[in-house]
A and B are shown apart, each in its own frame.
Chain A
Amino acid sequence: MAEKQYDWKAIAKNPKFVELHHKKTAFLFGWWIFSCVYYFLLPIGAAYTPGIFKVKIIGAVNFGYIFALSQFFVSWGIALYYSHVANKDFDRLTRELIDELHL
């Protein structure tokens, strides 16, 4: 496992890396905060606005159930969207960076 030596500081200053870093940070933390807020609406809503949760939507199925179910689809949606963006943008930028550095 002879590790190659890299000039980490130089790579960190490379514009491609800076672009990657900014895009990634904004994306990851943005969506992470969104998913946390969306999730905590469930316990907070169920506790403090039970009236909304009781509203029947289709037959006996109420808003509360649909909202809880939506958590699954929203989580999956974020996961798929992330994988799409990561495969398309992040991985491409990383590859370009590595090519540029001839590593």
Chain B
Amino acid sequence: MTIKKIFIAASLALSVAAAAYAEEAKAPAAGAAPAMSAPAAQGAPAATAAAPAPNAAASVATPAPAKAPVKKEMKADRTITIGMFLVIIAVTMGVVVWAAKQTKSAADFYAAGGGITGTQNGWAIAGDYMSAASFLGISGLISLYGYDGFMYSVGWLVAYITVLLIVAEPCRNAGKYTLGDILSFRTSPKPVRAFAAISTVAVSTFYLTAQMVGAGKLMALLVGIPYKMSIIGVGVLMVGYVVFGGMVATTWVQIIKAGLLMAGAFLLSFLVMIKAGFNPIGFFQTIVSSPDIQDHVSKMVLKDGVILSGMDAGQRFLEPGLYLKNPLDQISLGMALVLGTAGMPHILMRFFTVPTAQAARKSVIIAMFIIGGFYILTTLLGFGAAIHLTPQGITAVDKGGNMATLMLAQQMGADIAPILGDIFLAFLCAVAFATILAVVSGLVLAASAAIAHDIYVNVIKDGHADQHEQVFAARMTSFVVGACGILIGIAAEKQNVAHLVALAFAVAASGNLPVVVLSLFWRKFNTAGVISGLVVGTVAAIGLVMVSPNMTYPKVVAAGAKKVVAAMEKKQAALPPGATLAETDAKALAKAKVDAQQDGTSMVGLEKPLFTLKNPGIISIPLGFMAAILGALAFPNRRSEEMFDEVYVRQNTGLGMAKAVEH
């Protein structure tokens, strides 16, 4: 108990210290802002980050914003924002203290004792799933690339059909706390649990790292809290929620976040619709006839050698192909999303928290309405930002467009009253903060469940651990996993982590999903199948990403930079004598000159990508399925086949399940 109190006090003190430190740091990270493209998109949509990738050639090729005065930075009012942060921290800490008292058994810690209702779980799934990247990144993509941004968001909802139809109810009935539970039912438990745990930890780490780096950069940009401080602050809170509150506290953090997010999105969309006179057709007409959007599109398509102007350019904004240019890559990403979500350990884990299969079903349906509703609203937010702030204004603040929603909130509020602008912006910053906490907490819990429950309790201790020991192991591993998350987050500050989210989904889709589906539905499936499916799917996904364009290839960078140098020198030569390049151009030239010197090979020793797609799913998912099937057929196992009846009856009827605990 005392340790608990000290820890809570320490995390509160740390948050306050972070805030105070940020107050002191004068003229803070503002200067750094333009340098970082796409902090949140690095979290996710940048999976196909053709544009936001920090590619020297791309960023200089864009001419400086032509139009009038555009704001170059955006800062939330610190006092109000930090006040809102503290309210969220206080409320969630209250939940943690309450939850900590209820967490007595391992079932309480990992699965909230199965006592979460369908409705609560639905909100929590939505809160667990909608990361800061989708919240800020997708409306940003819509504001800069129009239709493609919206098309991008569709897969995030469709993914839940797979979750609903294939995994939710059977998992509820067949599993207990982790992926390993589902897979080890009729196989040799030890090796299967060990492999499932490795895969879970890998997926969670990729996703967590992307979230942590995104979080740090976002906080630096929004509130001016230095990167390291943000990571430590977010990390300490995340560890606090998970270690003390387990699944109950994590669930409530996710529910609170989903509620705040939906409230913010609804309010902002409502304000956009007021401006559009509640006329959706007129709203789209405004987009097409906006001169700024027309100008933005005509410059964008000019790169592909197309000349468009006026209404044609405006209409082009509503047509596909401005952002997602490689169809195979796009389809591959779609496959990873649609199949990967159902294999994500932190999503699977949410189905162990409800008392019945009916509640699991209900929770997915509720989550689908929340998630779908949110992604439909991103159209209004994204297009609204394009209309009211102009794409030029948005890119001036952040090249990836991640600030679009926040800028829109500030403007919409300020149009009513200046102070409302600050309050609304602060509110959305607080939502972004809550979002990060909710997502990272879910991931830490999933990773620590895999280590503590699968590896420690079931592999090392052979399942012989009493409740007290299990809960202690769970808390210790959560602490260690969280601490590692903080360290990785700090270490990865300068890395481009965009590919990590794509990687997490690809591994989940290629490694986890095939073995989950086959264990649940295929009589002949067995240990050999699980292991070969997990290993081949995971290795194929990681291997393909390692040789894909996601990695940095110094020679390719140098070649691009040389082109930039040539173009800039030409531009300089064309200037009248004595004149110098504009500041941005000069900076770009200096950077390109340095980049042009780069030499060497990528991390795995390649000069250029071996595999041309950024998303490996189209290859690795079929490979994962094939390996799982072939492995099972090659080493048939009578016992696994005989036990299928039990698995199938259990998952369909819920017979043999432990009873739930009320919360």
Contact = CB atoms under 8 A, between A and B. Distances in A.
Interface of A: 1, 3-4, 6, 8-9, 11-12, 17, 20-21, 24-25, 28-29, 31-32, 35-36, 39-40, 42-44, 46-48, 50, 53-54, 56, 58-62, 64-65, 68-69, 71-72, 75-76, 78-80, 82-83, 86-87, 91, 94, 97-98, 103
Given A6-B655, A24-B652, A83-B365, A46 B321 contact: yes
Given A64-B320, A68-B150, 4 more contacts: A75-B372, A86-B358, A94-B653, A97-B653
B232 to A, nearest CB: 39
Interface residues of B, number: 54
Nearest to A44: B331
B162 interface: yes
Contacts of A58: 281
A39 B155 contact: yes
A71 B147 contact: no
Contact of A46 (B320, B648, B650): B320
Contact of A76 (B282, B368, B645, B646): B368
5 contacts: A17-B652, A29-B165, A32-B165, A44-B331, A54-B315
A79 B285 contact: no
B52 to A, nearest CB: 20
A32 B162 contact: yes
A11 B646 CA distance: 9
Contacts, number: 160
B327 A48 contact: yes
Interface string B637-652: 0000000011011101
A76 B282 CA distance: 27
A24 B375 CA distance: 30
Given A47-B330, A53-B320, A59 B166 contact: no
Interface string B136-167: 00000000000100110011011011101110
B499 interface: no
B628 to A, nearest CB: 17
Contacts of A71: 154, 157-158
A65 B334 contact: no
B658 A1 contact: yes
B285 A64 contact: no
Which DSSP category, helix, strand, loop or mixed, fits chain A's interface?
A: helix
Interface of B: 147, 150-151, 154-155, 157-158, 160-162, 164-166, 280-282, 284-285, 287-288, 314-315, 318-321, 324, 327, 330-331, 334, 338, 358, 361-362, 364-365, 368-369, 372, 375-376, 521, 645-646, 648-650, 652-656, 658
B151 A46 contact: yes
Contacts of A20: 652
Contacts of A40: 331, 334
B649 A62 contact: no
B154 A50 contact: no
Given A8-B645, A98-B653, A28 B166 contact: yes
A21 B648 contact: yes
B165 A82 contact: yes
Nearest to B287: A60
B327 A44 contact: yes
